[in-house]
Every structure is written in C-alpha cells, then in structure tokens.
Structure 1
Amino acid sequence: MISELSALDDGPVAVAGWVETVRDQKKVQFVVLRDESGALQLVRPRPEGDDAISTAISALTLGSFVAVEGQLKHDERVKLGGIEVKVDALAVASASEPEQPVAADSSIDKRLDHRFLDLRNPANALVFRIQTTFEHALRTWWVEHDYIEIHTPKLMASPSESRAELFQVPYFETTAYLSQSPQHFKQMAQAAGFGKIFEIADAFRADPSFTARHATEFTSIDAEISWIDSHEDVMAMQEAVLVAGFQAVAAKHGEEIERLLGLTVQVPTVPFPRIPLAEAIRIVAERGYIVPRADGDLDPEGERRISAYVQEEFGHDFVFVTDYASGIRPFYHLRYADDPSLTKSYDLVYRGTEISTGAQREHRLDVLLEQVADKGLDPAEMESYLEFFRYGVPPHGGFGMGLARLLMLLLERPSIRETTYLFRGPNRLKP
C-alpha cells in the first residue's frame, strides 16, 4: 500500500492504484498515483526517442488503474509525502475513458449518478472509514457488556410502525411489508429472555420527503434492554455507547478529519443534558420562537433552537428531550402512572437535529390492549406482536438511531446523501 512506503528503505517496490494527475514534460514525466491508503508521485526521466514506458505514460487517462514496479527513493523535496518511485515498469490494468463525468464542482445529484467516482475523493471516502470505526466501537461496547447481536427480518406480515409509511411487496399469495423498524422483534427478544440486544441494519420508510435528513432506505442502529426502572436507563446506555463511538473516531481518524475536513471531533461528556418536552417548548418560546405544530412536538426549527440553548447553557452538542405526550407517541410507549398523558420516552437531538427516539415500553398486556384501542388500531392486526406479551415480558426499553444522520452532523456534511454509500430517496433508485 502507498501508506506503507515511507517506512521502507530505498529500493525496489511494486504499487498499484488509479491515475490522479499526469505531467507529461519533455525531459521527465510525473504521475500522481492514488490507492485507498494515500497518494504517491511516480517519476520517469524521458529517454531520447520515446520508449514503451514513456509512450504508455503519455497515453494515460485520468482514473485508469495501473500497476507499477520501480525504485523507491526518500527525498524531502518531494511535497507528496517525501518519497517518490522511479518507474521501471508500468502496466495498465484497466483504462479509463478520457472524459470524466464528474468534477469537484459537480452537483450532488451528478456526483451520486457516478458515486464510484465521487468516492475516489479522499474526503468523501473518509466518511466510510469513520463509519466503520464508529460501528465497530458500538459493537465492541455492546459485546463487552454482554449484549446479543440479532438480525431481524426485513419482510414483515404487518406494520411495525405507521401504516402510512409502508412499502408493500408482493409475497407469493399475500402481501408483505418492508420493515420500518425492528421494534417488534427487539421486544420479542426481551420476551425470549435475551436481556440485552442490538442490531445495525437496514430499515425502510415510504416517506416522500426531500429534505437533507430523510431517506427511504437507511441504516438503523437499535438496542433494547430488560429490567429497567425507566427510560433513564436507556438514555444512560445510549450516551455511554455514543461516547465509545466518538472516542474511537477521534483516536483513529482525528488528524485525518482535521486535515481533509477541517474539523475537530468533539467527544461528548456524560451525562447529556435532559429537558422535558414541555420545558423545551417553553424555553424556545421565551427565546422568541413559538413552535407551530398542532401536535405539540418540536419542529426542525424548535430542535435547532433548543440545541442552541443547550450549547449556550451547558456547552453540549447533545440533549435528550424527554416526557413526550402520549398522543404523539406509539401505543407501545409506557405512560406515567401519575400522568397517563405523558410517556417515559425521549428524542435525542444532536447539533439541532433529532437523531434518535427511545422509550421504556409498555410490557403489560392489559394496558397494551387499552393503548391499542386508544390509538384506534385494530387488535387483530397487532396479534402477532401482542402474542408474546401473553406469556410474560420483563420491563424493558430501547432506542433506534439513524446512522447516516448522525454522521452527517458529526462531519458537518450538508446532507445524508454525503454519508450514505448509495442513497435511496423518492426519486433515486440508481446506482
């Protein structure tokens, strides 16, 4: 790999990658070669009367993949890493067409049309190295704390959330639905006695939104735990696992993030601030913004305003907005015994955008049936979900969190299109 060359002594080496630039001069030829680990300057003094190698270099097109053998030389005058390779042999593994369809100033839609070229940009590729480190850190924290990783089905017989956002799929003689959430199966694991589980997997929402933070297919990070006293236990777990992820990213990629993106990774302190929803709405109203939503929830501007308040008062990028009204929460959220109008639930807002919803779940069948009726749902459609509550389920709760949305905010990208490998939205099914 190119990144390994600086540690080697001068001498013969073999490298491979794609051609980033060519300077074809009369007396010497330079090529910048890049692989997934870095970039390298190739140099070839031009002989009197071109030979096969100089002719091949002159014919190179940007983006072509080539393999090179040559002599490594350390030279501090070389701006690109202080090393270069003098070419002895060059073979074109795969030639690129002369005209590139995307450029640095291309629109995001144009770049997504040719995502494989867009991701050759080191800053864009870095996102997915960070994603890998972040996911691995989360998994490591969970495994070290005795969680079980599960893989839930994405074809479902009934909705897991609102029927309004379902993708229907023909399924032999019946209809299946693409999973909006592993919610039911996470809770089934609590009935099975698994105790603590997590999953990182695809989820689907038939939501015709064209905002920077919505997608029709996305990666959902989910966890569920048994024997909790309240949603506070879920929040404590979520903030701990997030800190582990941020610490891993800062340690492994901090310098590269500063160099390529001009950002410093801020590892959050714990505990994250907690503000009840009613108080959050009051705070933003006192600061000059009346949330217009009829259902009493924060809108995107309200989220930005409460985040600004938390940053000013606590110097924190995260805030748990808690105690949501039962009218705007799903039937399975547990309600306060002394005030059934409120649920033991929360949204986690990061840098002005909601990234996660969590709650303690209702585990008592009789109460669940009441709350199903209260929501105007048909118990018959919920039967496969309600069944495992008929045989005993411990008090439990959990959260779901969008991976691309979190990375977008962490890396200050303008859209989750930048932090999704291949984005899916209402008008994008390719590539």
Structure 2
Amino acid sequence: MSTRVLVQQLQSLPDGPVTVSGWVETVRDQKKVQFVILRDETGAVQLVNPATRPPAEPVDPSTGSRTAEPQDAAADPAERAKRDEALALTDTISTLTTGTFLTVTGQLKHDERVKLGGVEIKVASLDVAAAALPETPIAADSAMDKRMDWRFLDLRQRRNNLIFRVQTTLEHAMRTWWIERDYIEIHSPKLMSSASESNAELFALEYFGEQTAYLAQSPQFFKQMAQSAGFGKIFEIGDVYRADPSFTSRHATEFTSVDAEISWIDSHEDVARMQEELLSFAIGAVAAKHGAEIEELFGVAVSAPTVPFPRIPLAEARDIVAARGYDIPRTDGDLDPEGERQISAHVKETYGHEFVFITDYPHEIRAFYHMRDDETGLTKSYDLLYNGVEITTGAQREHRVDILMEQAKQKGLDPEHLQFYFDFFRYGVPPHGGFGMGLARVLMLMLGESSIREVTYLFRGPTRLAP
C-alpha cells in the first residue's frame, strides 16, 4: 500500500503518483468527466476521472427496437479488462455519497487553473473505507440544536475544524509560556468531599453507597494547596462542573478551565500582570499560525494584545457606564452583561483595546477566600473582560487562617466542611494569588462567535447530555 499523503502536503510534492484519504465533500458527475472534492483533516483536493460509459445499444432505425448485442470494441482481453476497470471506477464515483470515507491513488498534477490549491489528482484506483447514507441529517444552515445533535458531522466543516486547531495552538502557547518560566503543571481531582467555592451549583453523586461526592466546580482549593506545598508557580487546564441552570450563550455545566496560581505576590496586580503577558503571548501565537485563515473564514483580524491592559476600578466603571446612558439594574453593585459590554465599548473607544481589568470589588460579591484591603475593605481582586464579556476572575488569596475562617463564616459556610482546606494554611503558606479563565469563552470572543456551543467540542448544558 502506498503511503498516505495529507492534502496540505500536495503543493510541495512533484507531479507523480500519490495516495490520499478523506471524506467526499461534493461529486460532479458529468458525461465526459467526473470531479470529486475530497477533504481530509488538513484541507481539500480535487479528484478528476475521465468518465467511461457503457456503449449504447444499437437500435433498428425502422422499428426503433434493439438489435443484436453490440460487439465489444476491445476484442483483446487485456483491453477489455482495462475498459471494465474504467467502467467500474466511473460507476463507483457516480454512486459516491457525501461523507463517504475513501482512499484514492492517482497521478498528482500541478495546474494553476485549478482553483482548489492549484493541484488535482487523476484517479487511478479508489477504495471505499466506509460509505455514507445518501441523505445527511443536517445542512450548513441547520439550527444550532440540530447541528449539536449531529456534532460529528457539523465538525467536518473547514471552519469548525479550524476552531480546534486554534484551541490547540492557544493551549500549547500558554503551556509554553508557563513552562519556560518554570511553572509546574498539576492535575487536581474532580471528585471532592465538599464544595470548592460555595454550596450552590454543585453536582452531587453517590460515592460507593456510603457518602456523597461532588464534582469539582473549580481546582481552587488544590491550586492553593500547591502553594502550601512549596510549588511556587502552578497551572492547570482541566474540566470543571457547575450545576447552573443557565441557558445563556456563555454558560455550560461542564467546561474547560484555565487556572494558574503563584506565590510571593504583593497584590492581585502581580496576578493580573502575569495573565496579560500570558494572553498576549498566546493570542500572538494564534495570530502567527492561523491569522490569515481566521480572517478568511471568520472575518476577524486576530493580533497579540498590547500590554499592559487597561485597569478600571469597579466604582469608576459603573460611573462610566451610567454616563453612557445605561442604568445597571443589579443591586449588588456588580456589572451585568450589558454593563460589561458598555465598559468594554468605552475602553475600545478610549484605549483601542479589547481587554480591560475591572478591579476593587466589594467583598460582599466575591468569594470568601479573596483577600480584603485593610484600608478600603474592598477585595484585592479583578475580573478580566474580553470584547465585552467576562472571561476571568483573579485575586490575591487570604492566607491567614484565622481571617480566612472568619470570612467563610460571614459567607454562611460551615467551617466543619472546610477543615481540610483550612489545614493548608496551618503549617505555613506564602502570600499567593491566581486566576481561573474559561477556555471556551476566550475562543468564542477571539473568533467573534455568538455562543460557546460553537467552540466547544461537545457542549454540556442543562438539557444536553448527548452525544
């Protein structure tokens, strides 16, 4: 068997025999020639086959009826066999269905007239690995829920394939940035004996019939444990679970969280500075590798954001939003989604920036483990907005166990359920902080998509557990 060549490699190969594999995207079965667009995971190529049709049966012109069987023009057995092979190939191509997976061997030819990559393959042989049913259940314009039902077909589109190439580059770049700076990667458990942030939004499950376990809402506690363990700087990219019955475009019940935690900080500003440098590097890597294709398929120009990102205290942000004519309806003092869009629009107009840190949140609307400023009482924390949507909460953590326990009580948490967590702080821990960031939100906003469903491999929400 010939070695399979990827479509993206064809342009660099000389004319000659090649073997490619992929799925059928379109078939044009003309009288004299057949064209097939074959796509693999790297691109699409045009296959061409000069059609060989069965000879017409002779007809008596006086009666209009068939006469004797036609004589085979190729009396030589070898010629007949060759013609039979050509007839069979033509017939096979005529019956190909969209989505059929196959392998083709043929002659590669460079031809600048071919719009699809400037190359085509003249088919010599074709082997069907798995035929597809003739009627596909979805189309490019099908409703989102329908496409999610048939996600494996939906993902065959070049545009959707690119999303996960971008995701791969983004994650690799973030890992590269961290590893080059001597961060340690951890994989924290996703089964927990108690809540990781609050008693809300928890998925509970029976654990061997004797106790209740919970799916982790966040690696928060274990990120902080790594600081007590003396790891210094850590990161994790992993799944988290939120029993949140939200049906918005930016919520999911299972999603990938990008987390980092660092020791020996002076304030949340150290965390923010680390995150903006990380994102500038990672988005720059995406732009360098995929920028042209993203612009072609998504109509978005991606570039590395400049650092530092703008910073605006929450109280000032609320005033700016009010001055723009929007009255935030929330009573807790936080920004609502429209408020986030308004302050981001202000930043775009004023600073030409897609990112903004909103800082200095009241402790009433922050997690119990956020450190509070001794003078203002505000938390040493931030939210990071990207193109009008929150993607991150970051903070300096409270590492003094007596204050931490008191803040947990103020939030209505039972200290008995958090004893294992408080133990992390009883045997020495450096000042530390970190952030958690939703990977799908970053992809959604980078590519200008309207929902995280579009950029999640298999979305999970309140009404979706399959496929």
Shorter-chain TM range is over 0.9
Q: Distance in 2 between matches of 1:368 and 1:5?
A: 61
In the TM superposition, what are the counterparts of 1:315-394 in structure 2 within 5 Å? 315-340=352-377, 342-394=378-430
Deviation at 1:291, TM superposition (A): 1.2
Relative to 1, partners in 2 of residues 1:9 and 1:331: Cα closer, same or farther, differing over 3 Å? same
Give the Cα separation in 1 of the matches to 2:443 and 2:412.
37
Please point out which of 4, 10, 21 is paired with 1:5.
10
Compute the displacement of 1:77 (Å). Answer: 1.1
Equivalent residue, structure 2, for 1:192: 229
Matching residue's letter, 1:418: E
Counterpart Cα distance in 1 of 2:140 and 2:300: 20
What's the counterpart of residue 106 of structure 1?
A: 142
Trace 1:305-324 onto structure 2 (pairs within 5 A). 305-324=342-361
Q: Deviations over 1:192-239 (max 9, x none)?
A: 000000000000000000000000000000000000000000000000
1:37-79 Cα shifts (integer Å, max 9, x gaps): 1111111111242611111101101100010010011111111
The Cα shift of 1:289 comes to 1.3
Give yes or no for the alignment of 1:219 onto 2:256. yes
Residues 1:290 and 2:327 aligned together: yes
Partner of 1:32: 37
Contact 2:29 2:35 in 1 (8 A): yes
Amino acid at match of 1:415: S
- 1:266 shift after superposition: 2.7
Q: For residue 409 of structure 1, what is the aligned residue in structure 2?
A: 445
Aligned to 1:58: 94
Deviation digits for residues 170-193 of structure 1 (CA, Å, limit 9, x no counterpart): 101100000000000000000000
Following the alignment from structure 2 to structure 1, what is the Cα–Cα distance between the partners of residues 414 and 355?
37
Where 1:422 maps in the other structure, the secondary structure is coil
Question: What percent of counterpart residues are identical?
Answer: 69
In 2, Cα distance between the equivalents of 1:39 and 1:428? 32
Q: Is the 8 A contact 2:277 2:307 kept in 1?
A: yes
The answer to whether 1:42 aligns with 2:79 is no
Corresponding position of 1:426:
462
In structure 1, distance between residues paired with 2:416 and 2:37:
65
Aligned residues: 430
Q: Which letter does structure 2 place at the counterpart of 1:4? A: Q
- Give the match for residue 170 of structure 2: 134
Is 1:169 the counterpart of 2:205? The answer is yes
Counterpart-to-counterpart distance in 2, 1:40 and 1:65 = 14
Could you tell me which residue of structure 1 aligns to residue 76 of structure 2? none
In 1, Cα distance between equivalents of 2:173 and 2:258:
13
Contact 2:198 2:413 in 1 (8 A): no
Residue in structure 1 matched with residue 268 of structure 2 by the alignment: 231
Gaps of 5+ in 1: none
Q: Does 2:52 align with 1:15?
A: no
Hey, what's the Cα distance between the residues in 2 that align with 1:378 and 1:87?
71
One-letter amino acid matched to 1:333:
H
Aligned partner (choices 132, 146, 149) of residue 185 of structure 2: 149
Q: State the distance in 1 between where 2:132 and 2:416 align.
A: 58
Q: What amino acid is aligned across from residue 69 of structure 1 in structure 2?
A: T
Task: State the alpha-carbon separation in 1 of the partners of residues 158 and 352 from structure 2.
Answer: 31
After the TM superposition, which residues 235-254 of structure 1 pair with which residues of structure 2 at under 5 Å, given as runs? Answer: 235-254=272-291
AA of the residue aligned to 2:118: G
For the pair shown, the structure with the greater C-alpha radius of gyration is: 2
Using the TM superposition, give the Cα deviation of residue 23 of structure 1 relative to its aligned residue in structure 2, in angstroms: 0.7
For residues 100-146 of structure 1, give each alpha carbon's deviation from its aligned partner in whole angstroms, at most 9, with x where no partner exists.
00101100111110111001000011000000000000000000001
Give 1:415 shift. Answer: 0.2
Q: Unpaired segments of 5 or more residues in structure 2?
A: 1-5, 55-85
SS in 2 for 1:85: strand
* TM-score between the two structures when normalised by the length of structure 2: 0.91
- Is 1:81 matched up with 2:117? yes
Counterpart secondary structure, 1:359: strand
The letter for the 2-side match of 1:373 is K
Output the CA distance in 2 between the equivalents of 1:71 and 1:351: 48
User: Distance between the aligned counterparts of 1:258 and 1:5, measured in 2?
Assistant: 23
RMSD: 0.8
Task: Kindly provide the CA deviation profile for residues 392-428 of structure 1, in whole angstroms up to 9, marking residues without a partner as x.
Answer: 1100000000000110000001100001000000000
Deviation readout 1:232-287 (Å, 9 max, x if unpaired): 00000000100111110000001111122121103210000000101101111111
User: What SS class does the counterpart of residue 416 from structure 2 fall into?
Assistant: coil
Partners of 1:48 and 1:260 in 2: how far apart? Answer: 39
Q: Which residue of 1 aligns with 2:81?
A: none
Give the AA of the match of 2:347.
V
SS in 1 for 2:424: helix
TM-score, normalisation: structure 1: 0.99
- Whichever residue aligns with residue 34 of structure 1, its letter is R
CA distance in 2, matches of 1:46, 1:375: 75
Say if 2:370 and 2:395, in contact at 8 Å, map to a contact too: yes
1:304, distance to aligned residue in structure 2 (A)? 0.5
Q: Give the Cα–Cα distance (whole angstroms) in 2 for the partners of residues 390 and 6 of structure 1.
A: 63
